[in-house]
Structure 1
Amino acid sequence: MKKTPKEKSTKSIKINQLAILIAVIALLTSVFPYIFSPKKVDLVYVDVNKLVEGYKRTKVDRKSFEQKTAVMQSNVDSLMTDWQDELKAYEKERSSMTKKELALKQELLQNKQQQINNYQQAVQKQIQEEDQKLTQTIINDINDYITEYGKNHGYQIIFGAQGSGNIMYAHKASDLTEEVLEGLNKQYNGE
């Protein structure tokens, strides 16, 4: 028996409806776990600047570093004051000095000024090197902690944002900064 065009059309519509129904069920089945399962954010980040500034070791080490820097700068200032006092004394006594004494005193003052300048440059270089070393030590502490934190919490990657545009936007749920900072400070305090 031959089917009429109307019967063929009805059968075709039923097959299409069945195909659509199967596609919808497949889609819902594949999407269901993502919609109703607890979500864990796979891409997370920390604000490195906040970690460095909020880390207790940073505050302790910076305070010690600033005290040491103040002592070094005080030594330079003391030498400069002595040199200026000698220069003032030279200006007062200059009229009573012979040419030879004047030349000798000028040379001594110039040499002393050069030594002070050299010392001041050496102090500034030492301060800069110690500041870089201090900062690197703190960064290493933070990096080590974040590495362990990531392993212990099952993260594949933790980005570091520094406010320079490397992460332009991220949902607040992706920000681990406060959680990491709290753990970092507990570790520093030996808790």
Structure 2
Amino acid sequence: MKKIPLLIATAIMAVSCQQDKIAYVDNTELIKEYQEKIDLENKYKLKYEEFQKKYDSASTAFTKEAEAFQNSAKGMSQSKQQEQYNALMQKRQQMAQTLQQEEQAINQQSAQEVDSLVKKIRTFVKDYGQNNGYTFILAENEGGNVFYGEETKDITEEVLRELNNNYNSKK
């Protein structure tokens, strides 16, 4: 009979002594070193380079056309000069508008893919925590969500390795 309270006390102490499994990841490093993010950056770097070439080509063509107009304008009447000048300015405006829309579309598409990537990383970290018995995984970043954490609690490298392995296996 005297052993029952001792057993209950031991059980209560065992339960109360269980500690939460807590770790943190460095968000900045995780995102910076994630291979899918690197691939995404390279994809958009190429798109921006292609866009820049298109922009430069259109700009060069317009400059040549403007120079040709200047050379031929000397022999034209004032009204003909004004008419061709207006047509040239309208063409310039349309070209600029088209290029601006294309650049905005690239920027918007890039932002959407980055947002999707961040959500994917958050979901992965959450699943990683659940699958590995963590009670909490905190996020360390430049804003300072974690002001101090023991180095042994930093699981950034583990999570990054798993994240990259997961991504590479789906390629």
Consecutive aligned runs of 4 or more in structure 1 exceeding 2 Å deviation: 39-43
State how 1:41-190 maps to structure 2 within 5 Å: 42-190=21-169
| Two-structure CA RMSD over aligned residues (Å) | 2.3
CA deviations over 1:118-137 (Å, ceiling 9, x no partner): 12221221121112112112
User: How many aligned positions are there?
Assistant: 157
The alpha-carbon deviation at position 98 of structure 1 amounts to 1.3
Secondary structure at 2:148 match in 1: coil
Distance 2:122 2:144 in 1: 20
Which residues of structure 2 form unaligned runs of 5+? 1-12
Secondary structure at 1:44 match in 2: strand
Which residues of structure 1 form unaligned runs of 5+? 1-29
| TM-score, normalised with respect to structure 1 | 0.74
Secondary structure at 1:146 match in 2: helix
State percent identity of aligned pairs.
Answer: 25
Distance 1:40 1:66 in 2: 46
